[in-house]
Structure 1
Amino acid sequence: MKNKFFMLMLVLVIGVLAACGTKEDKANNASSNADKGTEEKQVLKVGTSSDYAPFEYVDVAKGEEIIGFDIDLIKLVGEKLGVEMQVQDIDFNSLVPALQAGKVDVVISGMSPNEEREKVVDFSNKYNQTEQVIVVKKDSGIKKEADLAGKKIGVQTASIQENLGNKIAKDVDATVEGRTRIPEIIQDMMSKRLDAGIVESGVAKGYLKTNDELEAFPVKEQPEDFKAIAVQKGSDLKDKINKALKELEDEGKIKELEEKWLKVQ
């Protein structure tokens, strides 16, 4: 009886251990598969400021999705990198701090590299060149920079246009006022809280096309201004993005996006 009892207990113990082993193997396999799934579906968080048509904006008549040249471009870059690009809307002057804090992995928002930004983040090669213009109301009497004397010039805070506006204001004795988003500049011009606004030509074209009360003229001394994609300082994403941009340029994809978004019909 003792031997039979001992053999019965041994069988039960072996059965329990085998079951535990099977569960552990399943758990390990599930974990392994989850890891593989994560690798296959890696997500990069992209910061942008959706007030910069035609580069990034929301067409409220069609929905809430952020669209534009930059959005299409970063998605193509994502395809080259084999990752999903998850776009987040952030005020322009908060984009670089968000990148520094690791809240986003990439910033694409019509952003131009400058000395201050390059101290804290890295930039890709340029993907678009542009010029700056001064937008005014047609009845403003402002036809050249000298006419801005004593006037209020609107610029987007923390932008290249802010630096340019400060230089022009010093030369002609004008005042510069910052706004968080480009539409605020246009709205305040229409309501005469601002006399002029400095924006890039591609953005200005959109407003001139839809508002026949506005006109624009080029800034006299054009700063070197090109757009680039920002990543965290020292990130290996910089080289990967540069490679993707080069491939997209060689394939004519960037030219196609320029035709789609930037060409005025």
Structure 2
Amino acid sequence: MLLVDRVPLTALCAAVALCAALAGCSPQPEEKASGKGDASASCAPGKLATEVPGKLTVGTDKPAYAPWFVDDKPSSGKGFESAVAYAVAKRLGYDRDAVVWRTVPFNSSFAPGAKKFDFDINQVSISEEREKAVAFSSGYYDVRQAVIALKSSKAARAKSVADLKDVKLGAQVGTTSLDFINEVVKPAQHPAVYQKNDFAKSALKNGQVDAIVVDLPTAFYITGAEVPEAEVVGQFPDSGARPEQFGLVLDRESALTPCVSHAVDALREDGTLAGLEKKWLSEAVDAPVLR
């Protein structure tokens, strides 16, 4: 009888056949464990390994500001980000009643550590620094930062970035708005830093700062509905090769990331995101560019 390395060939063939029937004995390539996941990962509608089985848990801060949310009610489906969250959920196979909202402070959403949400939506800009701690979906909104000042302020007369160097500026902590002040404007005075945008708005109304920096849609909402004595002075141009975008935040090792990104990409490709932007952010018209 023919032997292969002292094992009878007939026995070896039988072992191979049995092994194949039991899903194979040959070693398989080790799957890569990463927050981005494998593009071929299963995204079966409504069957994802979510925080709560059968539900999709979505995080956002409180208060939930307009125009991203309406009347501080993320679950209403009204406001750009509320509508985007439900559109993503639908793409993933979760009906509206299967979406659970959870309050998550802005800075906590992208801080290191395990998350108690499937994704968070809260005007969080994608950045290399934040990607060290969390994963992001594809961008769902292209962002521009803008300056708001009281109409009576000297900051309201600014026509360029240089005109802002000698004014007192403010922004919310941990935001790209604050990054723009420090890295683009580089003012002579240290900017005032606030825990929430509400505090920054109060400081502006009370004259504690000359101007604040927020994203452009928020700027138009504040000046149109909350601080009518203020105006949008202008917006900053794109500052680099990578445009600023808001992304959905996920746990660093979340297996949902490729599925969520695929959902966002599909919503961009079929025009859903553009339609929601037109519906909820239409008042955010062009503002002068500060160069």
What TM-score does the superposition give when structure 1 sets the normalisation length? 0.75
The answer to whether structure 1 residue 148 and structure 2 residue 164 are counterparts is yes
CA contact (8 A) 2:238 2:244 kept: no
Structure 1 residue 162 and structure 2 residue 171: aligned?
A: no
1:1-265 correspondence runs (5 A): 42-49=54-61, 50-56=63-69, 58-59=70-71, 67-83=78-94, 84-97=98-111, 100-142=113-155, 143-144=157-158, 145-168=161-184, 170=186, 172-210=187-225, 211-216=227-232, 217-219=234-236, 222=239, 224-264=243-283
Cα RMSD after superposing both structures: 2.7
Q: Does the Cα contact within 8 Å between 2:140 and 2:264 map onto a contact in 1?
A: yes
Kept in 1: contact 2:74–2:82 (CA 8 A): no
How many residues align structurally?
Answer: 224
* TM-superposition CA deviations, 1:15-46 (whole Å, max 9, x none): xxxxxxxxxxxxxxxxxxxxx9x999612221
Checking the alignment, whether the CA contact within 8 Å between 1:132 and 1:222 is kept in structure 2 is: no
What is the letter of the counterpart of residue 170 of structure 2? G
With normalisation by structure 2, the TM-score equals 0.69
Structure 1: gaps (5+ residues): 1-35
- Map of 1:12 onto structure 2: none
Please state how far the C-alpha of 1:173 moved relative to its aligned partner. Answer: 0.7
Local SS of the residue matching 1:205: helix
Larger Rg: 1
Where does structure 1 differ by over 3 angstroms across 4 or more consecutive aligned residues?
A: 38-41, 63-67, 145-151, 220-223
Alignment partners' CA distance in 2, 1:209 and 1:74: 25
1:3 paired residue number:
none
1:161 is aligned with what amino acid? S
Residues 242/220 of structure 1: CA separation in 2 closer, same or farther (3 Å cut): closer
Tell me which protein shows more helix as a share of its residues.
Answer: 1
* Stretch of structure 1 that moved more, 142-151 or 240-249: 142-151
Tell me the alpha carbon deviations over residues 201-256 of structure 1, each in whole angstroms, 9 at most, x when there is no partner: 11111112224311121236645311111111132211111221222223322122
8 Å CA contact retained: 1:137, 1:189: yes
Residue 149 of structure 1 deviates from its aligned partner by 3.9
Distance 1:241 1:168 in 2: 32
Shift of 1:118: 0.3
**Shift in Å at residue 150 of structure 1?**
4.4
Gaps of 5+ in 2: 1-46, 285-291
User: How big is the shift at 1:48?
Assistant: 1.1
CA–CA distance in structure 2, aligned partners of residues 151 and 176 of structure 1: 9
